[in-house]
Structure 1
Amino acid sequence: MYLFEWFDQIDKIAFTFIHRDMSARWLDAIMLLMRNQYTWIPLYVFMLIWTLRLERSTGLKFICLTILCFAITDYTSSGMLKLHFERLRPCYDEDLTTVVRGIIGCGGKYSFPSSHAANHFGLATFWFLTITHITRQKWYWLWLWAFLIGLAQVYVGKHFPFDIVAGASLGIITGLTMYKLFDAWSKRDYDRNSKNNVILQQEALGI
């Protein structure tokens, strides 16, 4: 029990540093913008346009697994783990009543793990690995995108740092799993198409 209490204190110290000690009025506006879902609509439109330029079956796989990745991370974090662990958000924690600045509403009562971190790290992981697989291009900025959203959640007072770490871990595992499904799905389709092509060639040759 002592270990958990010590860890909780370290987490609260880190939260206090990020939320209060490194705060600035100009940074408040940026961080509120970073964690706002509507800020990233242009990015999602860009990703949709990029996907539509792929070969049709590849694009369909990419869209389906993107949706599945988001659904899994969101439901697992919000619908299961938060209700299981019941860790109070910083704004509900009595130890932090003089620390939380109240620049945004509290929202839901529980914070562990962060759904924002889980969702965005899940997408970042799946997109990064899959895009690298398809194009050999490494979009490292996806990791920065997910990290900044996670940092913003702590900065505005919505989450403790460990909430972000746990959410990011869930997201990375889910994103990696979705990439493995994409790879297996693509290989199965490739093998099936290759087999069909062989059969067609044999029929054309009268074999």
Structure 2
Amino acid sequence: MWERLLKWDRDTFIYLNGLGIEQYDVFWSTVTQFTTWIPLFLLFIALFFLKFPKREALYRFLTVLGLAVFIALITHITKISVARLRPNNTEEINTLIRILKTPTDYSFFSGHASSSFSITMLVFLFLRQRVKWAILFFIWPLLFAMSRIYVGVHFPIDILVGMVVGLLSGWLFYAFYERFIALGSRSVHP
């Protein structure tokens, strides 16, 4: 069973990565960079301070930062513990695939997927009642995670697990905020 799953993962990766077209390489190489998304992060911060009182906005922002640290730690620990090679470092397939990036750390699970989906989930939950189009925030993690297959550095399972971990972590931090922080941030007037 496990071998069949890994074979499906490898074969699906090779197929999806092979769909890449050279004319889109610059697009996907740009999409996969964290720095490309800085304007979106600034939008998130601006929306917090536009839609909530200052103290509440600050607490929400700090909760997002706490989540970012948490997800980075859990992703790093998992990568070291599992020690799965990235596709670009896997000798049996790296001559069959398109490689646009060459990281040397481990693959499971995708930090791009876990971080982007966790932050987006938390920001969405914070803003969904105040920003009608907040669901559009999920375009970012979808593109960001898909780019990892295109540039040759993550298998589909790495991305799917990273996505699930991210969504659950975002929801967990939202529940934590509502349970322990929200009342205090709303009851104190600046």
Q: Same fold (TM over 0.5)?
A: yes
TM score, norm. by length of structure 1: 0.84
Q: Please give the TM-score of this superposition, normalised by the length of structure 2.
A: 0.91
Q: Secondary structure at the match of 2:92?
A: helix
Residue in structure 1 matched with residue 174 of structure 2 by the alignment? 179
- Match of 1:203? none
Partner of residue 61, structure 1:
59
Q: Hey, which bits of structure 1, 4+ residues long, moved more than 6 A?
A: none
- Structure 1 stretch displaced more, 68-77 or 37-46: 37-46
Q: In the alignment, is residue 13 of structure 1 matched against residue 11 of structure 2?
A: yes
Q: In structure 1, how many angstroms separate the alpha carbons of the residues matched to 2:184 and 2:46?
A: 26
Alpha-carbon RMSD: 1.8
| Alpha-carbon contact 1:113-1:163 (below 8 Å) kept | yes
Q: CA deviation at 1:138?
A: 4.7
Cα distance in structure 2, aligned partners of 1:187 and 1:98: 56
1:88 aligns with 2:85: yes
Residue number among 122, 127, 143 corresponding to 2:123 in the alignment: 127
SS of equivalent to 1:96: coil
The equivalent of 1:74 in structure 2 is 72
Count matched residues: 187
- Find the aligned partners of 1:111 and 1:57 in 2 and give their Cα distance: 39
Q: 1:76 to 1:89 in 2, by over 3 A?
A: same
What is the one-letter code of the residue matched to 1:68? G
Alpha-carbon offset, residue 98 of structure 1: 2.2
Aligned partners of 1:131 and 1:138 also within 8 Å: no
Change (3 A) 1:126 1:50: same
Counterpart of 1:33 in structure 2: which amino acid?
T
Q: Trace 1:1-207 onto structure 2 (pairs within 5 A).
A: 3-20=1-18, 22-53=19-50, 54-78=52-76, 80-104=77-101, 106-133=102-129, 135=130, 137-184=132-179, 185-190=181-186
**CA displacement at 1:144 relative to structure 2:** 1.9
Identity %: 22
Which consecutive unaligned segments of at least 5 residues does structure 2 have?
none
Deviation of 1:136 after TM superposition, in Å, equals 6.0
Higher relative contact order (Cα pairs below 8 Å, separated by 6+ residues): 2
Quick check: which has more Rg, 1 or 2?
A: 1
Q: Does the 8 Å CA contact 1:35/1:152 hold for their aligned counterparts?
A: yes
C-alpha distance in 1, partners of 2:47/2:185?
22
Take 2:59 and 2:96, find their aligned partners in 1: how far apart are those partners? 46
Listed as ranges, the gaps of 5+ residues in structure 1 are 197-207
Kindly state the Cα deviation for residue 137 of structure 1 after the two structures are TM-superposed.
2.8
- More deviation in 40-49 or 141-150? 40-49
Q: CA deviation at 1:52?
A: 2.4
TM-superposed CA distance for 1:8, in Å, is: 0.6
